[in-house]
Amino acid sequence: MYSFRNDYSEGAHPKVMEALADTNLEQTVGYGMDPRCQSAAALIRDLCKAPDADIHFLVGGTQANLVVIDAFLQSYEAVIGAHTSHINTHETGAIEATGHKVCSIYAPDGKLTPALVEEVLSQHNGTEHMVLPRMVYVSDSTEIGTIYTKAELAALRRCCDEHGLYLFLDGARLGSALTSPDNDLTLADIAALTDVFYIGGTKNGVLFGEALVLSNAAPKAHFRWHMKQRGAVLAKGRLLGIQFQAILEDGLYFDIARHANEMAFRLRDGIAALGYPFPVPSPTNQQFPVLPNTVIGQLEARGYQFEAQEAVDAEHTCVRFVTSWATPESAIDAFLKDLADCK
């Protein structure tokens, strides 16, 4: 019985596992200063058309978020995020624990816009009595599956430029976003439009890892000090370089993300065909149908796993299904057949 609970339910793509096995006894220096990391970094610079970018490899998303935000902001500066943003909800106050306020604002589709950013700015008077918002944090795809278009991201960039803000894109699910049928962004676009972003590996085929891309405008000089101080420098850093090399070098990253999306759409279409609604449409690998609680109970009794997103009413719940690089078509079909049997 399949788990649609998350896109990190399995290990890594076989090619990644092979790369780790092949290099296992190679000796390298530690902490990500090794040739494997240098090679992966060069590849990422190429893919991003950002020859001067600094590349750092971190183990996970919360770690990446807290290191980046604390490294970019002064003590009295704050970060703006959607009310649904990961930093505002599911990181146990990790950003505040580094001393910075998260200025959150309600964003119906999980996406920030210049208007929303400016609404937050308008609540601040620029004096020493209030924090200074200094960074905009967005996720692509967002925590509720939506994505940014190139026009939308460019508009945010202009807004940030106008108001002296950094733009940080959390790409934990960037593979799914960039291979969505609705997407018109490239890695190079994102590198050009943001000050810092990361290419999420954990949720797209590697054992763990996020590849951080720092643009020229970023405070690059002492970034590794910030990493180390937060326990975010992996001793065997080469594991990150090896994995990102394996997943990025032949477009595998995008191929498997596309597969995850296709499985999500197959699931979505099958569920919709059974008459269940999707209040927030998602063009990526997270799908949010509303199911009767009785049906949810029957699915769980059969062993399916997925998470509740939020209660809709006493009898219905919006649930979350996530597919991944590892989801087989057969799992979708078996699930849909079982769902059709539920009453």
Q: Does 158 bind a copy of itself (CB under 8 A)?
A: no
- Structure tokens, 283: 């063009």
Return the residue of 50, 57, 68, 70 that touches a copy of itself, per CB under 8 A. 70
Footprint of a copy of itself on 186-225 (CB under 8 A): 202-203, 207-208, 222, 224-225
Find all residues with CB under 8 Å of 143, minimum gap 6, and list them. Answer: 82, 84, 85, 86, 89, 90, 110
Complex with a copy of itself: residue 67 or 80, whichever CB lies closer: 67
- Structure tokens, 334: 């078996």
* DSSP tag of 153: H
Complex with a copy of itself: residue 98 or 183, whichever CB lies closer: 98
Return the residue of 50, 61, 113, 247 that touches a copy of itself, per CB under 8 A. 61
Q: Does 75 bind a copy of itself (CB under 8 A)?
A: yes
Q: How far is the CB of 35 from a copy of itself (least distance, A)?
A: 13
Complex with a copy of itself: residue 6 or 293, whichever CB lies closer: 6
Footprint of a copy of itself on 280-299 (CB under 8 A): none
Q: In what order do the strands lie in the sheet with 166-170?
A: 54-58, 210-214, 196-200, 166-170, 132-139, 77-82, 102-105
Residue 143 — φ and ψ, nearest 5°?
-65, -15
Complex with a copy of itself: residue 65 or 179, whichever CB lies closer: 65
Q: Does 92 bind a copy of itself (CB under 8 A)?
A: yes
Q: Does 5 bind a copy of itself (CB under 8 A)?
A: yes
Q: Does 6 bind a copy of itself (CB under 8 A)?
A: yes
Q: How far is the CB of 261 from a copy of itself (least distance, A)?
A: 19
Stretch that binds a copy of itself, among 22-30, 41-49, 152-160, 177-185 (CB under 8 A): 22-30
Q: Does 108 bind a copy of itself (CB under 8 A)?
A: no
Strand-pair partners of 305:
3
- The whole-angstrom separation of Cα 105 and Cα 311 is 21
User: Sign of the C-alpha dihedral, residues 236, 241, 247, 253?
Assistant: positive
CB 84, CB 143: distance < 8 Å: yes
Q: Does 228 bind a copy of itself (CB under 8 A)?
A: yes
Strand-pair partners of 169:
138, 197
Complex with a copy of itself: residue 123 or 149, whichever CB lies closer: 123
Stretch that binds a copy of itself, among 161-169, 228-236, 270-278, 296-304 (CB under 8 A): 228-236
Query: Based on the number of CB atoms within 10 Å of its own CB, is 114 exposed (0-12), middle (13-18) or buried (19 or more)?
Result: middle
Angle of the 329-341 helix axis to the 252-273 helix axis, nearest 10:
10
Alpha helices in 51-169 (DSSP H): 61-72, 86-89, 94-97, 114-122, 150-163
Spell 72-82 as b/e; 16+ CB within 10 A means b: bbeeebbbbbb
Return the residue of 50, 169, 199, 232 that touches a copy of itself, per CB under 8 A. 232
Q: Is 57 helix (H, G, I), strand (E, B) or coil?
A: strand
Return the residue of 45, 96, 184, 192 that touches a copy of itself, per CB under 8 A. 96
Q: Does 330 bind a copy of itself (CB under 8 A)?
A: no
Return the residue of 35, 46, 93, 337 that touches a copy of itself, per CB under 8 A. 93
Q: How far is the CB of 181 from a copy of itself (least distance, A)?
A: 27
Complex with a copy of itself: residue 17 or 154, whichever CB lies closer: 17
Q: Does 102 bind a copy of itself (CB under 8 A)?
A: yes
